[in-house]
Amino acid sequence: MKRRLLAGASLAAAAGTAVTATIAVNAEAAWTSAWNVSASGWFAADSPQVSVDRQGDALLAWTAGDLSTTYSYQRVQTRVKFANGTTGAIRTLSPDGAAVSWPETGSDDTGDSAVVWQQDSQVVGRRVAASGSLVGPLQKLSTSAPATTPVVAVTPGGTAMAAWTEIRDGSWYAVARRLKLDGTIGAAITLGSGSAEKPAIGVDRNGQFVVAWARASDVVAKRITSTSVSSAKVLTSPIASYGGFGMVRVGVDRDGDAVISYHSGGGSVAQVWASRWSRTGTLSAPLRISSATDNVGFHHALATDLDGDSMIVWTRYSSGKLELLGRRLSAGGTRGSVTTLGPGDRPDLALDDDGDGMVVFHTVLPKSTPPYSYTKSSARLISRSGTFGTTKTLTSDGRVPQVDARPSSLFTVIWQQETFPYTIRSVTGP
């Protein structure tokens, strides 16, 4: 999940990519040393995930296979990095022999977490206690197959909501389901017709969820409380999109005001848009985030702080290469100036309670010897006014970084080492 409202969840993943971060110069010394999250003798896969509670304890999740076994089946695994610097044991959440992929995590205020993933064409989930121990059995959440692309968010008090898309009688539907603190599940909630695109989910401080997803020709959203599910709100009706919509993201402030960003294929180039849906039900006209002339790339990221101010970072093609751009979107709907951030791809964002944040990303760079490129991961700090700091390289051997934040300006980043055995690594700072 880009998962909870106060910090854009972040992960760093995948072999062969370096992670770069932007940090204020005087904060450089505050970074911890990068450490190996996954076990020695195992190989890991794209993409790991991280969620951070309000004490700064981080749950790290990934998929990995044991190289000593014949088939090296992938398992979903988790590990806690506590705010005091100690680490918990590695826990395996999925059964041997299952086909697993794409874990997503969310944590409540005190570190009780939920992990959901795709397994054997179904969506499943499991609860993890703040100590790192497993709570309850593995639960099948989906009602039909194939089911795919789950996301999850967790209320301050611990109730998790997963959302995904599944095929029923030949058509796609968006579905949601609670995964409770004790590991039991609620009834499946059919949200409506959908598509193969990944949905997005967020939650406010009162425990109200916002789920948004793409259908064949628009993007819609619903609010889910403990007692009700709202009617669907169409977010995109003024926008023509001949190529359809996708890459939906959600940010929610403390009271439930939501920002939903998405890609549109309307016209000759893809564009990034954002819709603001207030807790009272008022929907503002879609705001164009990228330039109408930009050829937007596949990935973008959104994060929203408790006051409703957001940051959005996206990619565009420039002279045949991908570069990053970012801008602030205020709680009142004012778009800040666009900042060009240089080469990069696969951005992820996190904001703390007050809007101080971090963007992480990877950059593929050429080299003169085989395989003739390497990937580095980097980070840049973001001020609450929307100013980007300088770039800090986190690793020259890492890809698809992800990030999450504690309530005040401390970030945990996770990524996949690019070179074999693709170890999952993490760092905290600044």
Rounded CA separation 253/259 (Å): 9
Domain tally, the chain: 1
Mind listing the pLDDT tens digit for each residue in 79-111?
999 999 999 999 999 999 999 999 999 999 999
pLDDT of 146 over the 70 cut: yes
Contacts of 403 (CB under 8 A, 6+ apart): 7, 8, 9, 10, 11, 12, 50, 348, 349, 350, 358, 359, 360, 379, 411, 412, 413, 414
Contact residues for 394 (Cβ-Cβ < 8 A; gap 6+)? 12, 18, 19, 20, 21, 34, 360, 376, 377, 378, 379, 401, 413, 415, 427
The answer, yes or no, to whether residue 255 has pLDDT greater than 90, is yes
Residue 244 banded pLDDT, cuts 50, 70, 90: confident
Residue 181's CATH number: 2.120.10
Query: Could you tell me if residue 75 is inside a domain?
Result: no
- Amino acid 320: pLDDT: 83
- Please give the share of the chain, as a percent, with pLDDT higher than 70: 92
Tell me which residue of 251, 252, 224, 248 sits closest to 236, measured CA to CA. Answer: 248
DSSP string, 302-329: EEE-TTS-EEEEEEEEETTEEEEEEEEE
Mean pLDDT confidence for 291-307: 94
Q: What is the pLDDT of residue 45?
A: 87
pLDDT score recorded for residue 292: 87
Instruction: State residue 8's pLDDT score.
Output: 35
**Does a structural domain hold residue 240?**
yes
Beta-strand pair 357-366/373-382: antiparallel
Evaluate if residue 153 carries a pLDDT over 60. yes
Sequence-distant (6+) residues with CB within 8 A of 268 are none
Lookup: tokens for 230: 């709202």
What pLDDT sits at residue 241?
A: 62
Q: What is the pLDDT of residues 314-360, one digit of tens each?
A: 999 988 889 999 999 999 999 999 999 999 999 999 999 999 999 99
Who has greater pLDDT, 20 or 256?
A: 256
Side by side, the strands of the sheet bearing 258-264 are 245-252, 258-264, 271-277, 287-288
Residue 120 lies in a domain: no
| Percent of the chain with pLDDT strictly greater than 90 | 82
Q: How far apart are CA 4 and CA 176, in angstroms?
A: 16
Q: What does DSSP assign to residue 333?
A: S
Angle at 55 between CA 92 and CA 139, to 5 degrees: 30
Structure confidence at residue 16 (pLDDT): 36
pLDDT at 1: 38
Residue predicted with more confidence, 361 or 14: 361
Q: Is the pLDDT of residue 266 over 70?
A: no
The model carries a pTM of: 0.91
Question: Which tokens sit at 196?
Answer: 């193969």
Question: Residue 77 domain-assigned?
Answer: no
Q: Is residue 6 predicted with pLDDT exceeding 60?
A: no
The answer to whether residue 284 sits within a structural domain is yes
Residue type for 421, please? P
The reply to whether 298 falls in a domain is: yes
- In the structure, what pLDDT confidence band is assigned to residue 158 with cuts at 50, 70 and 90? very high
pLDDT over 50 at 25, yes or no: no
Mean pLDDT score of the chain:
91
The four Cα atoms 132, 354, 201, 152 give a dihedral, to 10 degrees, of: 0
pLDDT of residue 170: 96
Residue range(s) defining the domain that contains residue 338: 18-43+162-429
- Using left for φ > 0, alpha for ψ between -120 and 50, and beta otherwise, residue 346 falls in left
Q: Which pLDDT does position 163 carry in this prediction?
A: 98
Please check the confidence at residue 237 and state whether its pLDDT lies above 90.
no
Residue of 232, 295, 303, 243 lying closest to 274 (CA atoms): 303
> Could you tell me if residue 83 is inside a domain?
no
Residue 48 lies in a domain: no
pLDDT of residue 73: 85
Q: Who's near 227: CB < 8 A, 6+ residues apart?
A: none
Nearest CA among 356, 335, 321 for reference residue 290: 335
CA distance 387 to 336: 10
Inform me whether the pLDDT recorded for 69 exceeds 70.
yes
Give 179-198 pLDDT, tens digit per residue. 999 999 999 999 999 999 99
Q: Which of 16-30, 375-389, 392-406 has the lowest mean pLDDT?
A: 16-30
